[in-house]
Amino acid sequence: MLNVRWYLTYKLSIYRDLMEMAEERGVKVSHTSIYRWVIKFTPDIEAAVRCARKTTGNSWFADETYIKVNGRWKYLYRAV
């Protein structure tokens, strides 16, 4: 699963690089196995992430005030 996560998170497009990264951590795996894992587990990971993602609203708030700049009052607003 760590190799699949690396593939999806860091946009590593070469499976042989992932194979070398796994071998550095003591896991012996072929690049074709990593490819099959990516194909098999990506939909499950995507569904889990989609459910955990917070929805965004479409409401805006405006914060407005007057401030003094060089002795003159100026209108200041900020949309949040």
pTM: 0.53
What is the SS3 assignment for 4? helix
What per-residue confidence (pLDDT) applies to 79?
Answer: 61
pLDDT greater at residue 72 or residue 76: 72
**68: Cβ–Cβ under 8 A, 6 or more apart, which residues?**
74
- The pLDDT tens digits for 29-62 are 888 988 898 899 888 888 888 877 776 667 777 7
